[in-house]
Structure 1
Amino acid sequence: MTCAIETVHVAYGISRADAIRDALRMEGCTERVVALPATLSHGPIDPPDPDTRQAWVRTVLRCAPDDDWREPEEPWAEATTADVYPVYWVCLTDAGEHACFLEFAFRMAVRPFDIVDATGLDFVTRDGVRSPWSLGLMRPEDIVTSGLRERRRPYSEAEAHAASATWARLRAENAPLRIVRDGCLVSAPLTHFDAALVAQGRPEWEIVAGLIGRALHHLSFEVDPPGQCVGDVVLFGRVLALGAEGALDVRGAGPGMRDYEVRLPAIRPHPDRIPG
């Protein structure tokens, strides 16, 4: 007797997976949802070894992640084992989601799976028409009312080959950052977000978390196209680096972003000397 293949829904990040699970339950679907933990839009990806990536955060970004930051390998095995048929949920305008999806497609090695792609999705809510650039912006009720599940389709073999080739190229480049540009995931230098951090600085002292919060909001909602977001761990590391370079004044004993203060220096560096 042939065993039935289990359908498993897959997404980047715990919060997104939780929202998808809740939305499926609202529609009477009890299928399992797996959250992939790796934020592959920053750090080394050749190979995407958890220990190497954690060491990169500690040495290159010069800030200590939480002890539980290490990205486990087990969810990847759950999502790509031959015993399941994956349904991958993604919005490709989010760099973190895009990178995680490409790694998933690479690991599937052209084995068949389905995709639920929210890229370019428009739907009506009580607040008007929404066009989320990330699944992280969608509540379970948004996922249901938008009919997102109805966009499920098989991911073609040609698409799988193209995704694998893109990720193989990005792996070979092994850049410190990856960003979305013109709908594609591309490599970027570590200094890519530095100018945005300095532009959000204030002349008075404030905790670093305040500056990072404004920079995240600016990159997520105020640039064109929106969604040029990055993790706070990366921005925290860059604030410390900009402090060492004199582009920002930084003081404090650390180790966390609430243990440091930051301000614009009294004598601003010339804009051409700010990395980014």
Structure 2
Amino acid sequence: MKHVHVVFNMSAAGSLRQALADLGLRETVIGLPDDFSFGPIDPPAAYLRARWMEDVLGFERRPDLEQEANLFWSRATGRDIAPVAWVCRRNAMEFAGFLEFVSQVGDHPFRVVDITEVEFAPRPDRSESIPWRTLSFGHVLPDSMVKARLLERQTTLTGHELQACRDLWKRLRAENGPFRVVSDLSLQSAPITYFDKAIATHVTDDWRKCSYVVANCLSSLWDDGTYCGDLVLWSRVRALADEGVFEMEGDGVRMRNSSVRLASRAV
């Protein structure tokens, strides 16, 4: 069977294609365009999350998302391929996508490259001075993939490990929370307000650009080992402004064109 590398991060899929090409390998890589770390997952239909993003987070729906996601799943779970699933369990998006893959693939055999505990060598052109672990497969550059010999880390899950993945995803689907977040290298459901406290620590009595607030909040979350997308944080900044916790000026649509400060009653 033809090997197909199944990746739950579109950026990582591109980097893996380059790494395989650098190794002289012509193997197929497919990336999941959907994100199971937020929105409804019971049922796990892409159009429901797209509608939720529009209604709850306030983002324009991607008209082609459902078609692209359906194509990904038909290819990832085809019985005529030998899938190799790549996952970083420190990343809620990648971990949740992997759990949905385990659920959909059923009893068809597949291999896994789990990079959660991989220590990557320092890069001379980066700030790392010691070996480092990543919060996302999408942060690993092609040359680091090659040097870490990630392809040689392919393994299979035991029956107990497969069942644990399925049980975890079954529970998360039953909870159907707004967010899935990483805790102790597992996933747990989280409320819509989960990131609000972290955001508020970067808002003061003085006006600050929303892009500055979101960027600093992202950096703090990453330092604490939490990976979150900027659009999720931006949606919560706008929600807190609507609730009167923050005051906002600017167009309220683009982070760089908007500023925020603590509302006087919240000071």
Q: TM-score, normalised by structure 1?
A: 0.88
Q: Does residue 121 of the first structure (1) align with residue 118 of the second (2)?
A: yes
Q: Which moved more, 1:190-199 or 1:241-250?
A: 241-250
1: CA distance between counterparts of 2:166 and 2:231? 27
Partner of 2:98: 101
| Superposed displacement of residue 266, structure 1 | 3.7
State whether residues 248 and 262 of structure 1, in contact with CA within 8 Å, keep that contact through their aligned partners in structure 2.
Answer: yes
Q: Does residue 76 of the first structure (1) align with residue 73 of the second (2)?
A: yes
What is the aligned counterpart of 1:263 among 246, 261, 264?
Answer: 261
Report the 3-state secondary structure (helix = DSSP H, G, I; strand = E; otherwise coil) of the residue aligned with 1:60: helix
State whether residues 41 and 99 of structure 1, in contact with CA within 8 Å, keep that contact through their aligned partners in structure 2.
Answer: yes
Give 1:10's aligned amino acid.
V
2: CA distance between counterparts of 1:18 and 1:155? 25
Segments of 5+ residues of structure 1 without an aligned counterpart are 270-276
Report the 3-state secondary structure (helix = DSSP H, G, I; strand = E; otherwise coil) of the residue aligned with 1:192: coil
Q: Deviations over 1:69-116 (max 9, x none)?
A: 735321111111111110011111111111110011110113210000
2: CA distance between counterparts of 1:57 and 1:256? 16
State whether residues 85 and 112 of structure 2, in contact with CA within 8 Å, keep that contact through their aligned partners in structure 1.
Answer: yes
Q: How many residues align?
A: 260
Report the 3-state secondary structure (helix = DSSP H, G, I; strand = E; otherwise coil) of the residue aligned with 1:123: coil
1: CA distance between counterparts of 2:172 and 2:106? 16
1: CA distance between counterparts of 2:47 and 2:255? 23
Q: Deviations over 1:139-180 (max 9, x none)?
A: 000111112221111223332222112111111110000101
Partner of 1:54: 50
| Superposed displacement of residue 47, structure 1 | 1.2
2: CA distance between counterparts of 1:66 and 1:260? 22
Kindly report the root-mean-square deviation, in angstroms, between the aligned alpha carbons of the 2 structures.
1.8
2: CA distance between counterparts of 1:68 and 1:26? 34
Segments of 5+ residues of structure 2 without an aligned counterpart are none
State whether residues 51 and 61 of structure 2, in contact with CA within 8 Å, keep that contact through their aligned partners in structure 1.
Answer: no
| Superposed displacement of residue 58, structure 1 | 1.6
Report the 3-state secondary structure (helix = DSSP H, G, I; strand = E; otherwise coil) of the residue aligned with 1:106: helix
2: CA distance between counterparts of 1:235 and 1:84? 38
Q: TM-score, normalised by structure 2?
A: 0.91
Structure 1 residues 89 and 176: CA distance shift in structure 2, 3 A: same
2: CA distance between counterparts of 1:184 and 1:145? 27
- Please give the residue correspondences for 1:15-164 in structure 2 after superposition, counting only pairs within 5 Å: 15-61=11-57, 63-65=58-60, 67=62, 70-71=65-66, 72=68, 73-125=70-122, 126=124, 127-164=129-166
Report the 3-state secondary structure (helix = DSSP H, G, I; strand = E; otherwise coil) of the residue aligned with 1:136: helix
